[in-house]
Homo-oligomer: A and B are copies of this chain.
Amino acid sequence: MEFRGSHILSVDQFDRGDVERVFEVARKMLPFTQRKRVTRILEGAVLGNIFFEPSTRTRISFGSAFNLLGGNVRDTTSEESLSLAKGENLHDTASVLSGYCDVLVMRHSEAGAVAEFSSQSRVPVINGGDGANEHPSQALLDLFTLDQEMRDKSKRVDGMRIAIVGDLRFGRAVRSLCGLLSVFDSLDVRLASPAQLTLPETLKEKLISQGHTVHEFDSLEPALASCDVVYMTRIQTERFATAKEADLYRGRLRLNRKIYEAWCDPETIIMHPLPRDSRRKARELDEDLNPNPNLAIFRQTDNGLAVRMALFALVLDVADKFEENAKAVPWYRA
Contacts and interface: CB of A to CB of B under 8 A. Distances in A.
Interface of A: 4-5, 33, 35, 38-46, 48, 54-57, 60-61, 63-64, 67-68, 70, 72-83, 86-89, 91-93, 95-97, 99-102, 122-123, 234, 237-238, 274-279, 282, 287, 298, 301-302, 305, 315-318, 321, 329-334
Contacts of A43: 38, 40
A274 to B, nearest CB: 6
B275 A100 contact: no
Contacts of A331: 41-42, 45, 102, 316-318
A202 to B, nearest CB: 27
A31 to B, nearest CB: 12
A98 to B, nearest CB: 9
A261 B331 CA distance: 50
Contacts of A91: 287
A197 to B, nearest CB: 17
30 contacts: A33-B99, A35-B45, A35-B102, A39-B44, A40-B43, A41-B330, A41-B331, A44-B67, A44-B68, A46-B64, A54-B79, A54-B80, A56-B83, A57-B83, A60-B97, A64-B74, A72-B72, A77-B79, A78-B80, A83-B275, A86-B238, A86-B275, A87-B275, A89-B278, A92-B276, A95-B298, A96-B274, A99-B298, A100-B301, A102-B333
Contacts of A87: 234, 275-279, 282
A287 to B, nearest CB: 8
B57 A274 contact: no
Which 10 residue pairs are nearest across A and B when measured between Cβ atoms?
A: A87-B277, A38-B44, A88-B275, A317-B332, A67-B72, A316-B331, A83-B275, A99-B302, A64-B100, A87-B279
A33 B98 CA distance: 11
B38 A100 contact: no
A67 B80 contact: no
Contacts of A88: 274-278
Nearest to A299: B99
Contacts of A35: 45, 102
A282 B89 CA distance: 12
Contacts of A79: 54, 77, 79-80
Contacts of A76: 56, 60
A97 B46 CA distance: 22
A56 B44 contact: no
A151 B310 CA distance: 43
A26 B41 CA distance: 26
A278 B123 contact: no
A88 B301 CA distance: 14
A44 B102 CA distance: 19
Nearest to A96: B301
Contacts of A287: 89, 91
